[in-house]
Structure 1
Amino acid sequence: MANILVVDDEMGIRELLSEILGDEGHVVTTAENAQQARELRQAGVPDLVLLDIWMPDTDGVTLLKEWQRDGLLTMPVIMMSGHATIDTAVEATRIGALNFLEKPIALQKLLKAVQQGLSHSREAVRPAGYRPAPVAAVVNGAADGLHTPEHAAPVAAYAPALGGEPLHHGTTASTPFGQVADNAANISFDLPLREARDAFERAYFEYHLVRENGSMTRVAERTGLERTHLYRKLKQLGVEPGKLARKNH
Structure 2
Amino acid sequence: MANILVVDDEMGIRELLSEILGDEGHVVQSAENAQQARELRGLSRPDLVLLDIWMPDTDGVTLLKEWQRDGLLTMPVIMMSGHATIDTAVEATRIGALNFLEKPISLQKLLKAVQQGLTKTTEPQRGSLPNRMALTTDAGMVVSHQASYGNSSIQTTQIGTHHVVGGSFDARLAPAPMPLNPLSQFSFDLPLREARDSFERIYFEYHLQREGGSMTRVAERTGLERTHLYRKLKQLGVESLKSSKRHN
Structure 1 spans left out of the alignment, 5+ residues = 126-162, 164-174
Q: Share of identical aligned residues, percent?
A: 74
1:206 partnered with 2:208? yes
Q: Measure the CA separation in 1 of the matches of 2:26 and 2:205.
A: 25
1:188 partnered with 2:184? yes
Aligned to 2:77: 77
Aligned to 1:170: none
Aligned to 2:221: 222
CA contact (8 A) 1:202 1:237 kept: no
Q: Measure the CA separation in 1 of the matches of 2:99 and 2:185.
A: 53
- 1:24 alignment partner AA: E
Structure 1 pair 74–204 and aligned structure 2 pair: CA distance change class (3 A): same
- 2:211 alignment partner AA: L
Aligned to 2:239: 240
Cα deviation, 1:180-201, whole Å, max 9, x if unaligned, reads: x23x346439953958955762
Cα offset, 1:245, TM superposition: 9.0
Structure 2 spans left out of the alignment, 5+ residues = 124-160, 162-173, 190-194
Q: Measure the CA separation in 2 of the matches of 1:246 and 1:102.
A: 33
Residues 86-97 of structure 1 correspond to what in structure 2 (within 5 A)? Answer: 86-97=86-97
- 1:224 alignment partner AA: G
Cα deviation, 1:156-215, whole Å, max 9, x if unaligned, reads: xxxxxxx9xxxxxxxxxxx8613xx23x346439953958955762453124430xxx33
* Higher relative contact order, structure no. (Cα contacts within 8 Å, ≥ 6 residues apart): 1
- Is the helix fraction higher in 1 or 2? 1
Q: Measure the CA separation in 2 of the matches of 1:44 and 1:58.
A: 20
Q: Say which SS state the counterpart of residue 4 (structure 1) adopts.
A: strand
Aligned to 2:6: 6
Cα offset, 1:236, TM superposition: 5.4
CA contact (8 A) 1:209 1:241 kept: no
Q: Measure the CA separation in 2 of the matches of 1:39 and 1:189.
A: 49
Structure 1 pair 12–207 and aligned structure 2 pair: CA distance change class (3 A): closer
Q: Say which SS state the counterpart of residue 5 (structure 2) adopts.
A: strand
CA contact (8 A) 2:208 2:214 kept: no
CA contact (8 A) 2:182 2:206 kept: no
Aligned to 1:64: 64
CA contact (8 A) 1:209 1:245 kept: no
Structure 1 pair 176–44 and aligned structure 2 pair: CA distance change class (3 A): same
Structure 2 length-normalised TM: 0.64
Cα offset, 1:49, TM superposition: 0.6
Q: Measure the CA separation in 2 of the matches of 1:41 and 1:94.
A: 21
Cα offset, 1:56, TM superposition: 2.6
Q: Measure the CA separation in 2 of the matches of 1:224 and 1:31.
A: 33
Residues 18-37 of structure 1 correspond to what in structure 2 (within 5 A)? Answer: 18-37=18-37
Higher-Rg structure is 1
Structure 1 length-normalised TM: 0.63
Cα offset, 1:226, TM superposition: 1.9
Q: Say which SS state the counterpart of residue 177 (structure 1) adopts.
A: coil
Q: Return 230-239 or 73-82, whichever deviates more.
A: 230-239
Cα offset, 1:119, TM superposition: 2.8
Q: Measure the CA separation in 2 of the matches of 1:189 and 1:16.
A: 30
Number of aligned residue pairs = 191
